[in-house]
Amino acid sequence: MQLGYELIKNQFFFRKELIERVGWFIRLRWMVVCVGLTGSVAGSLVWPPFPFQCFLAIFLFITAYNISFYLFYLRLNTSPPKDEKPYVFFTNFQIGFDLLALGLMIHFTGGIHSPFLFFIILHVIIAGILLSPPSSFIYGMIMLTYLGIEIFFQYMALLSPQPVLFQSMLSAHVPEMPQTLFLYLIYAAIVFATAALTTSIKVSLRVKGRELLSVSRYLDASNKKLNALYDMVKAMGMCTDLQELMDSATCHSSGIMGVKACAIKLLDDQKKKLRFVSTYGLSGDYIAKSEIDVEKSVINRRIIEGQVYASGRLQEKDQFQYPEDIQKEGIASMVCLPLRVEKRIFGVFCLYSGVLDAFEEGDIRFFTLISDLTALAIENLRSELTKTWFLQKTAHQLRAPLNAVQSMLRTLRKGYLGAIDPPKTDILIRCEKRIEALDNLISDLLELSIRRAGIDPKKFYPVNVAQMVDRLLPMYRAQADEKDVEIECTIQEPLSAVMGDNALFDDLFGNLISNAVKYTPKGGRIRIAIRTEDSGQMYWEIQDTGIGIPEEERSHLFTEFFRGQNARAITEEGTGLGLVIVREILNQLNGTIHITSTVGKGTCMILRMPSV
């Protein structure tokens, strides 16, 4: 919108026009010199009394000052001035010189009777359009004064009259005063009427320009606000944490609305108390009051009931639970709105300004939009968190009895209740293993459920894969060392980041590497290669010297609970969900997986995913 604003300023106040016309005048003057010289030659041929030498001198004078103007113009273009003042000065200078040349031409072609007289009107119009309105009158006055002086001098016989262009010498006598005066008055009326007409059009355009400017300013401000609101909604959408979301909302809102402080207060479960959950720009002392009893605070009660509270002077201090704090905080105006989704109100969103009467109706309307969007974002994230929390809690409840059994078995097996003989110990170890498998299955099912519940891709951020590998690899290296399996990892820099989240990559990498370790026999080798391909895609290759996957089983690899025959033979560990989780994660990352394998020799998994 800045463009629109500038456009209006330039067009309606003729700034751009003025700057462009400066060069145009110089070019036009060259044409005038050419046409004028040609005309003078032709004029002297058809009409011998034509003052050729005088005209030649005038056009040489014009040529000389136009060269100077041109040089000055080049300099002006090399280092353009910040404002239009030098152009105004330059234009005045040009019009002044042109009128001087025109005055001489008028004098040598019959003074008040000269046909060149009408070129004065042209200059009056130009000055009226491009320069300030009085310029038009000033230039008109100067030329009329000049003509008046010439008439007076001729009348007093101090100046000899010149023949009128293309007319007989008969008329070149001392003019009759009344007729000349009459002619002069008519001409003066034409000049002033032209100046008045031009300036009135110009003034009217300026008024319209000002109106448009104020509209444009308002549109600029609205556009800026809307852009900032878009950024705010985008930032809130990226949040995975309620506190982070609300802090982002208060911080952005303060900026958008240009106020000193902002706060979100949420209602407790009983809807009796409001608690500050996020503030921006308020002192610790103010927030320390923390809980607001809705019954005691008339204003907050009204807001909770759905009303908008706005005060530009905060005179109704008795309505606040802590009026002295509002004064101490330097709050002069305030707007508070209910945070609501449909008809359900769950909090209050407030703006605080240090300026009296800071909020107009439009501001309140815009803040309502901010508040509604914030409420929606809070509600949305809450529901997502509740969904995830439910899944986690379900897994916890399923795992609790298993954990108790496992703890008891370990206590028994490790001899805390007396010595256990080897056959019984074996049985206890088997029990523990089976329960552990069930525990792992619950973990994987939880993982899969959370993945399938869907994480909003908006919340993804660039993940540094090299750092992730550095963090996770030692853990799997320790597992591999136990089996004497060597892990070799090559990361080819520079490595671009991948959009995702850390937990997602931890699970992806963890599943792939633990699978490789699990199914690679003692003394084997796992080779990991990570790089960014020329196409910009992230490339992971995980190759092991493991048991391999029989060809006929490869199509079932991504089926829930499937475990290959040779996999089951080598270990009981494994839920058959690891690769399903890998595929779910890759779906979210827009990635692909390609598996090649030879039974007894090993497996190679190649993953590709878009990088940032």
Partner 1 sequence: MKNKADILIIDDDRDLVNSMKIILESRALNVRTAGDGKAGYESIRNKTPDLIILDVMMATDTEGFDLAYKLRRESVYQDIPILMVTSFPKHMAEQGPEKFQHIMGENWPVTQFLEKPIDPDDLLSAVMNLLSEADGHDPGFF
* 67-to-98, 190, 577 alpha-carbon distances in Å: 13, 33, 87
Query: Residue 296 or residue 410: which is nearer to partner 1 going by CB?
Result: 410
CA 411 to chain centre: 62
Q: Which residue has the tokens 């699978």?
A: 515
Report the distance separating Cα 196 and Cα 184, nearest Å.
Answer: 18
CB of 535 to partner 1, least distance (A): 35
Mask 357-396, x = binds partner 1 (CB under 8 A)? -------------------------x--xx--x--xx--x
Query: Residue 391 or residue 526: which is nearer to partner 1 going by CB?
Result: 391
Residue 605 near residue 521, CB atoms below 8 Å: no
Query: Residue 368 or residue 449: which is nearer to partner 1 going by CB?
Result: 449
CB of 290 to partner 1, least distance (A): 12
Tell me the window of 121-129, 335-343, 409-417, 575-583 that interacts with partner 1 (CB under 8 A): 409-417
Beta pairing class for 344-353 and 333-341: antiparallel
Looking at 88, 233, 341, 402, which residue binds partner 1 (CB under 8 A)? Answer: 402
Query: Residue 329 or residue 447: which is nearer to partner 1 going by CB?
Result: 447
CB of 400 to partner 1, least distance (A): 5
Q: Considering CB under 8 A, how many residues would be counted as binding partner 1?
A: 27
CB of 233 to partner 1, least distance (A): 21
CB of 465 to partner 1, least distance (A): 19
Query: Residue 365 or residue 396: which is nearer to partner 1 going by CB?
Result: 396
Report the distance separating Cα 450 and Cα 49, nearest Å.
Answer: 105
Report the distance separating Cα 373 and Cα 340, nearest Å.
Answer: 9
Backbone φ and ψ of 113, nearest 5°: -90, -5
Binding status of residue 399 toward partner 1 by CB under 8 A: yes
C-alpha closest to that of 476 among 463, 464, 466, 489: 489
Residue 336 near residue 309, CB atoms below 8 Å: yes
Q: Which residues partner with 266 through β-bridges? A: 275, 347
Binding status of residue 411 toward partner 1 by CB under 8 A: yes
CB of 527 to partner 1, least distance (A): 27
CB of 593 to partner 1, least distance (A): 25
What Rg, from alpha-carbon coordinates, does the chain have? 44
Residue 238 near residue 461, CB atoms below 8 Å: yes
Query: Residue 403 or residue 559: which is nearer to partner 1 going by CB?
Result: 403
Looking at 408, 429, 453, 569, which residue binds partner 1 (CB under 8 A)? Answer: 408
Mask 72-111, x = binds partner 1 (CB under 8 A)? ----------------------------------------
Residue 461 near residue 501, CB atoms below 8 Å: yes
Q: Which residues partner with 490 through β-bridges? A: 529
* 297-to-57, 273, 274, 349, 398 alpha-carbon distances in Å: 91, 10, 10, 15, 46
Query: Residue 272 or residue 393: which is nearer to partner 1 going by CB?
Result: 393
Looking at 414, 434, 452, 594, which residue binds partner 1 (CB under 8 A)? Answer: 414
Query: Residue 407 or residue 559: which is nearer to partner 1 going by CB?
Result: 407
Residue 310: its H or E element: strand 309-311
DSSP notation for 276-303: EEEEES--HHHHHT-EEETTT-HHHHHH
Tell me the window of 152-160, 186-194, 410-418, 492-500 that interacts with partner 1 (CB under 8 A): 410-418
Residue 309 near residue 265, CB atoms below 8 Å: no
Q: What is the DSSP letter of 561?
A: T
Mask 436-475, x = binds partner 1 (CB under 8 A)? ---x---x--------------------------------
CB of 395 to partner 1, least distance (A): 8
Contacts of 84-91 spanning 24+ positions with Cβ under 8 A: 84/15, 84/18, 84/19, 87/18, 87/19, 87/22, 88/18, 88/131, 88/132, 90/22, 91/18, 91/21, 91/22, 91/25, 91/130, 91/131
CB of 338 to partner 1, least distance (A): 21
CB of 6 to partner 1, least distance (A): 47
Binding status of residue 429 toward partner 1 by CB under 8 A: no
CB of 471 to partner 1, least distance (A): 12
Query: Residue 150 or residue 507: which is nearer to partner 1 going by CB?
Result: 507
Binding status of residue 400 toward partner 1 by CB under 8 A: yes
Backbone φ and ψ of 155, nearest 5°: -65, -40
Query: Residue 406 or residue 449: which is nearer to partner 1 going by CB?
Result: 406
Looking at 167, 406, 464, 537, which residue binds partner 1 (CB under 8 A)? Answer: 406
With b for 16 or more beta-carbon neighbours within 10 A and e for fewer, the 83-109 pattern comes to ebeebbebbbebbebbbbbbbbbbbbb
Tell me the window of 45-53, 64-72, 282-290, 398-406 that interacts with partner 1 (CB under 8 A): 398-406
* 401-to-224, 429, 440 alpha-carbon distances in Å: 57, 18, 14
CB of 432 to partner 1, least distance (A): 9
Binding status of residue 404 toward partner 1 by CB under 8 A: yes
Binding status of residue 273 toward partner 1 by CB under 8 A: no
CB of 569 to partner 1, least distance (A): 28
Length of the chain in residues, anyone?
612
C-alpha closest to that of 310 among 335, 327, 285, 329: 335
Residue 364 near residue 338, CB atoms below 8 Å: no
Binders in 231-250 for partner 1, by CB under 8 A: 241-243
Binding status of residue 26 toward partner 1 by CB under 8 A: no
CB of 403 to partner 1, least distance (A): 4
Q: Which spans of this chain sit near partner 1 (rule: CB under 8 A)?
A: 241-243, 277, 382, 385-386, 389, 392-393, 396, 399-400, 402-408, 410-411, 414, 416-417, 439, 443
